[in-house]
Structure 1
């Protein structure tokens, strides 16, 4: 007795079940990965930069613009008075934003880039007023080239790396117009980022707006919490509906095989052995179909990443453990629903009486 003998003789039925499972697995992984790619893009642009520094914006009325509080931080290594703006980034499913750091001091700009580990293709000392250096992915996303203008700033250089931002040099007049003296780019002492952020979190929220790695990550997770919840509910509900429909189809197919089971029983095979055969058949079909759909989704996502995402300056996280777990929900539900109903009926059926009625 071997599994798949029936399906080798009834290939259309095996193909039908496999096709539905494979298609569902493909759609689940493909869609969840696309949604996850938006989060990844927003994370790279809005959270990763704060692994290097924190930003504090003073809104109070102190004459020194809050400098004394900044200088009294125990874990600070260096701070710079900067202007902080933002630039919109297009994604496959909407938009997000990246930061633009502006200063009126060439020396300070060079120090900031060095501290961020950024090496540009242009010498900072060669920059003039209203020149802008930005990440290569941002340049691609904005569909610009060197020499083009981004609002009032001229793109002069690009760089590659983890920190996906833009850094600009502006005139002293423009610097004061954008409120530069009230905004601070703060670098921690070596290995003291967590301690520095804790100190900043103790600042009066009525006087300060603090952007740190933890706060940026918390805000991003909060923005995506509803989307992730809806996505999880949709995946589970769709998986349940498809699983029930497939389980009913499989149950009907196996209901027409009881003469086969009765003959096997008459040949000396116990119900436990027949149940094992059924278990292996359903497990193998679900596994092979899911693996096929999963593999096809990886191929499709690779193509989308190459032809769509690269042209938008984004990189898709093609493999994801969470999305893979989402994909496994369907075959598990199909297997459980089908096996429970089929084996329950098999155990309650008198196979000997089927032979006697023939």
Structure 2
């Protein structure tokens, strides 16, 4: 058996990392005060973690770059997601990888770029669509679009529910108490809870989003992050000349995600504004698709509204995946792609720990 590991933070990344490490034989303890709370959006928006507030959109293969760390992480995660879903479905059978994703070109230059991606990545399931091919779904797509058969969405609520149940099966210790500080202790690390209790580990993985910076600062690691707000709406359509059977799992237009979610129901969301306070103007722009929304969308009724904060690294590329010291790993600042990059991030963390931690048993 491997040496004990602490995971700080229980959004999708923390939960998934704890589950992945436990499945590899690490004794794992996860810390987050929200662990006693039910996974839902019934609480006020200020209490939602980034995963709960997200829509779980996976834009992996439609990433514009074809090299670099960002592309490698996306490509690897899209390879791993079907395997993760297959393993997690026995805890929540409704959990699924919902595909495909359709990205609409907003202008001619974007249309040309998307056509280029489609020609380069046919083997990954990308196909360019003409305006005529999109007319039945999105008549305003004057410059065509890109269909990705493997990109799409994972329901973030069902994902967290399944991961929590998976942690119970692997006997992961769940501590619903905030972590106050981290201390270097002998050859490992000490987690000091807000209540004063001290727990010792061989390694600590910080998956605490915006709270990560405060934990690292006393250790002389400067990793500032800034909040970026995402907003989402559930709409009930009064006039719906749309057959959802023809729709993709996700349609992306001008950075706004439109997701069919049952009869006459549509989710609409985007990460659109800096700061931590929701504002009306960005929400109105999202709601109107910058003035280009079809009439049936304009006439829809808002039945639910929520928002949540994403952590964006300052002057560093997202995400922050670093071993800062032996046994101290940072996996945070995923910005818009926390759910998307979860499998590859967890795999990276496990590889770092397996490389750096001595084994104490067979």
Tell me which interval the TM-score lies in, with the shorter structure as reference length.
Answer: under 0.3
Structure 1-normalised TM-score?
Answer: 0.24
Larger Rg, first or second structure (1 or 2): 1
More helix by share: 1
Q: Which has the higher contact order (CA 8 A, sep 6+)?
A: 1
Structure 2-normalised TM-score?
Answer: 0.23
